Amino acid sequence: MRRLAAMFYDFLLLLSVLFCGTLMMIPFNGGRPIEHDNLPYNLYLAAITYLYFTWQWTHGGQTLGMRAWKIRLVQNGSGNVAWRNASLRFLLALISILVLGAGYVWTLFDPERLAFHDRYSNTRPATEQ
């Protein structure tokens, strides 16, 4: 339940980050709204989303949502999450979401309660006390 709450917090925070990122781009579009099918803009938002998560995972192991719920992401065996593992986790989590959350449902059947993206990126959420 804590992971779900942290995901909700991060969703709200990411929306505000994407809003600010969009606000910074409007002057470059002549003050007009940016069309939703604009490929460079969509790639720009995807890059912001990628950096929002991976940078925080590799620098302290916590997004702001995870910090609020006292959850830290660690890499199996070494503690700190490497960029390679954070990138793999991000991509696998994206796939998990796109497949109707199946990667998250995975936690119900995994003996260690790891999500699909945790299991295959060699990471795990750890609860802080």
Q: Cα(78)–Cα(81) distance, rounded to whole angstroms?
A: 8
pLDDT value for 79: 80
pLDDT value for 129: 59
Q: Are 71 and 126 in contact (CB under 8 A)?
A: yes
Q: What pTM, to 2 d.p., does this model score?
A: 0.89
Task: Check residues 77 and 39 and name the one with the higher pLDDT.
Answer: 39
Return the amino acid letter for 118.
D
3-state secondary structure of 2: helix
Rounded to 10 deg, the angle between the 39-58 and 2-25 helix axes is 130
pLDDT value for 81: 95
Q: Cα(119)–Cα(27) distance, rounded to whole angstroms?
A: 43
pLDDT in tens, 14-58: 999 999 999 999 898 888 888 889 999 999 999 999 999 999 999
